[in-house]
Amino acid sequence: MSEKKGVLRLLEIADEKRSLLIVSAILSSLSAICMLVPYASVYFILQELLLHASSVADADGAYMIRWGVIALFGLVGSLILMYAGGMVSHIAAFRILYGLRVKLASHIGRLPLGWLSGTSTGAVKKTLEQNVEKVETFIAHQLPDLVQVVVTIVVMVGVMFYLNVWLALACVVPIVLALLVQVLSFQGTRTKENIKKYYDSLERMNGSAVQYVRGMPAIKVFGQTVHSFRQFYADMISYRDYCVKHTRDFQNGYLTFKVILGSFVAFILPVGVFLLSSDPHNVAFASVLLFFLVMAPGVSAPMFKIMFLTSTLRDIGEGVERMDRIFAEQPVAEPLASKQPQHFDVAFDDVSFAYASATATEGTEGAQAQQGKEALSHVSFLARHGQVTALVGPSGAGKSTVANLIPRFWDVQEGAIRIGDVDIRDLSSTDLMNTVAFVFQETFLFYDTVYNNIAVGLPDAAPEAVYAAAKAAQCHQFILNLPQGYDTLIGEGGVYLSGGEEQRVAVARAILKNAPILVLDEATAFADPENEYEMQLALAELVKGKTVIVIAHRLSTIREADQILVMQGGKLVEQGKHEALLQQNGLYARMWSAYTDAQNWQIGKERGRLAADEHVKQYNSR
């Protein structure tokens, strides 16, 4: 994507009215013209001095003072217009920035969970933050600079050609050479490839940094450092190497560009001296030559900005390409008209599902372990409304897959999932999300107040409803004991809750939502013995009158379930109540036996003591 396409595509994505940008461009143009007034004043003052150099008394002092005042007003006017143009461009930049982030976030929110699982968190974070942030820098600062550069060069070159064609040509030569060096050094295919590699290495490093921070407890426990966290260290080294290579590729072009722009006088002076030598007493031409020598820095200064503008435009082009990759991902298909289920039984009808193959790209985290392998094979069951259906089975049996397919985190390849008599694909995402509530094993709480974390379940709920949900979830009391009660911040800058407390906040969120279908993914996983009783009371309140699907590892928690589904290798191998499954003497019976044996297991103190005594006897007999 070219820089021009990149900028135009950027404005198209932002879908922002361009009136503010046009106003900013006009103000920046007027500022550039006013900035040239002092140079014109210098020219007329020098001309006056040269024309009356024989007698200072003959010089028109009022004339020079008048041009001095004009120069002052031009400078002040330029600064005022520059400030006004900058303010307008900043307003436009922040609006476009907001629009871009909202559009990206909204689109990502509509994508299937499979895309998020196969995409680096660091890459998405970099696109939402760094790539979009560059837009603000360009529109707020560098777009006005670009307008000023173009207007300044066009006006000054026009004036120069009006005054003297040969001196103007001498001034144009370094401008053309500088632009040529700029294009050859910064616009080649090799440069674009290096820019892509640079951004890819930056995304990989961001992704590894997220993993490194998340894995900090394990890194600390095992006494590791960033050097021993190999992936992060390797990605940092790769990023460093690309930065060094990037710098080396540009250094010769940058130095050449800078030398040429600093050499306007070297081009103008020989031509001026040659022309002046034919008529040494031509005072008018001498004043024009002095004007060119004074104005040369006025041309070179804005030209330096072009180099940084080109770099920014290239970065924006690369960033826009990465935004377009996200926008190219197809969101979950929405029905033309959402159907409403008449009841809330959940039926799996001959469902088969396999995680899509990874789209292997640099900068993505590893694909899911199950990608390409069938996770569910011809699974059929009915979870009735008002009953508890439990999913059990070995790790990787497909329990979580069943739970994640109900809210359409993925779409099934074969069969259908129905709520009532309605295929979930015929429900809008909003209606489906309002129908299903989740309590995950790994609870996610926002960096926000406890109150707002609960209110996520129903944002428009009255405070009384939020407090009632907290009480039903058995977390009201510990919330009141926090420093600011319900207004206490969770996470950075606030307090950190225990695993059991976080789970109860998540249960309160689900109680407040009051959806007719509830999916519990080992909701008591992080509860300690003291909190588990509280959790059980909270869940008992939550499951009343709902279709409940429970993923359980602690088999004792689902003994009273209305039906137990036993999964193995993505297939439903057993189904029934607890006692009936034990009598079948199959997989569930073996799991129950292993579970009860594990519950009765104790560290063998006596056994250890006898073994130690035996070692002592053997030692003494030697």
Q: Residues 103-112: what's their mean pLDDT?
A: 81
Domain end, chosen from 326, 342, 373, is at: 326
Do 152 and 223 share a structural domain?
yes
pLDDT band at 250 (very low <50, low <70, confident <90, very high): confident
Tens digits of residue pLDDT in 128-153: 776 777 777 778 877 888 888 888 88
Q: Is residue 103 part of a domain?
A: yes
134 vs 618: which has the higher pLDDT: 134
Q: What is the pLDDT of residue 622?
A: 43
CATH code: domain of residue 305: 1.20.1560.10
Do 318 and 401 share a structural domain?
no
Q: Per the structure, how many domains does the chain have?
A: 2
Lowest mean pLDDT among 106-110, 383-387, 469-473: 106-110
Give the pair of three-digit tokens for residue 249: 């590729």
Give the pair of three-digit tokens for residue 298: 């006025």
Amino acid at 313: L
Sign of CA dihedral 22, 27, 31, 37: positive
Do 38 and 185 share a structural domain?
yes
Do 134 and 63 share a structural domain?
yes
Do 396 and 276 share a structural domain?
no
Number of continuous H segments (helices) and E segments (strands) in the chain: 23, 10
The total of other beta-carbon atoms located within 10 Å of residue 335's CB is: 15
How far apart, in Å, do the first and last CA atoms of the chain sit? 83
Residues in the chain, how many? 622
Beta bridge partners of residue 388, listed in sequence order: 548
Q: Residues 246-270: what's their mean pLDDT?
A: 82
Q: Residues 419-434: what's their mean pLDDT?
A: 88
CATH code: domain of residue 394: 3.40.50.300
Q: What is the pLDDT of residue 346?
A: 92
Alpha carbon separation from 166 to 137, 157, 172, 173, 279 (Å, rounded): 39, 12, 10, 11, 15
Return the H-helix or E-strand segment holding 357: none
Do 576 and 497 share a structural domain?
yes
For residue 320, which of 9, 67, 582 has the smallest C-alpha distance? 9
For residue 200, which of 111, 135, 122, 132 has the smallest C-alpha distance? 122
Query: How many whole angstroms separate alpha carbon 595 and alpha carbon 273?
Result: 100
Burial of 454-493, coded b for 16+ CB within 10 Å and e otherwise, reads: bbbbbeebeeebbbbbbbbbbbbebbeebeeebebbbeee
Strands 374-383, 346-354: pairing is antiparallel
Do 299 and 405 share a structural domain?
no
Do 125 and 51 share a structural domain?
yes
Tens digits of residue pLDDT in 330-350: 887 788 888 888 889 999 999
Q: What is the pLDDT of residue 122?
A: 60
Q: Is residue 372 part of a domain?
A: no
pLDDT band at 76 (very low <50, low <70, confident <90, very high): very high
Do 393 and 261 share a structural domain?
no
For residue 370, which of 357, 352, 351, 379 has the smallest C-alpha distance? 357
Alpha carbon separation from 219 to 120, 122, 238, 342, 499 (Å, rounded): 21, 19, 22, 52, 20
| Residue 504 near residue 464 (C-beta atoms within 8 A) | no
- 428: CB partners within 8 A, 6+ apart: 334, 335, 338
- Tokens 């005072």 correspond to 283
Q: Is residue 374 part of a domain?
A: no
- 358: CB partners within 8 A, 6+ apart: 118, 364, 367, 368, 371, 372
Q: What is the pLDDT of residue 73?
A: 93
Q: What is the pLDDT of residue 610?
A: 43
Q: Is residue 347 part of a domain?
A: no
Q: Is residue 618 part of a domain?
A: no
Q: Is residue 332 part of a domain?
A: no
Q: Report DSSP state, residue 271.
A: H
Do 294 and 147 share a structural domain?
yes
pLDDT(443) > 80 = no
pLDDT band at 120 (very low <50, low <70, confident <90, very high): low
Q: What is the pLDDT of residue 80?
A: 93
Domain end, chosen from 276, 311, 326, is at: 326
DSSP for 333-400, written as a single string? PPPSS----SS--EEEEEEEEEPPPP---TTPPPPPTTTTSEEEEEEEEEE-TTSEEEEE-STTSSHH
Amino acid at 146: L
Q: Is residue 343 part of a domain?
A: no
pLDDT band at 294 (very low <50, low <70, confident <90, very high): confident
Do 265 and 157 share a structural domain?
yes
Q: What is the pLDDT of residue 349?
A: 92
Which residue segment(s) compose the domain that 142 sits in?
3-326
| Residue 92 near residue 139 (C-beta atoms within 8 A) | yes
Q: Is residue 366 part of a domain?
A: no
Query: How many whole angstroms separate alpha carbon 570 and alpha carbon 373?
Result: 10
- Tokens 């007493």 correspond to 281
Q: What is the pLDDT of residue 370?
A: 44
Q: What percent of the chain has pLDDT over 90?
A: 7
- Across the chain, mean pLDDT equals 77
Domain end, chosen from 291, 326, 361, is at: 326
pLDDT(221) > 60 = no
Give the pair of three-digit tokens for residue 452: 């707002």
Q: Residues 83-99: what's their mean pLDDT?
A: 86
For residue 520, which of 437, 398, 424, 407 has the smallest C-alpha distance? 437
18 vs 72: which has the higher pLDDT: 72
pLDDT(116) > 80 = no
Alpha carbon separation from 560 to 36, 531, 564 (Å, rounded): 86, 21, 9
Do 550 and 448 share a structural domain?
yes
- Tokens 């130095």 correspond to 255
Give the pair of three-digit tokens for residue 500: 């059991």
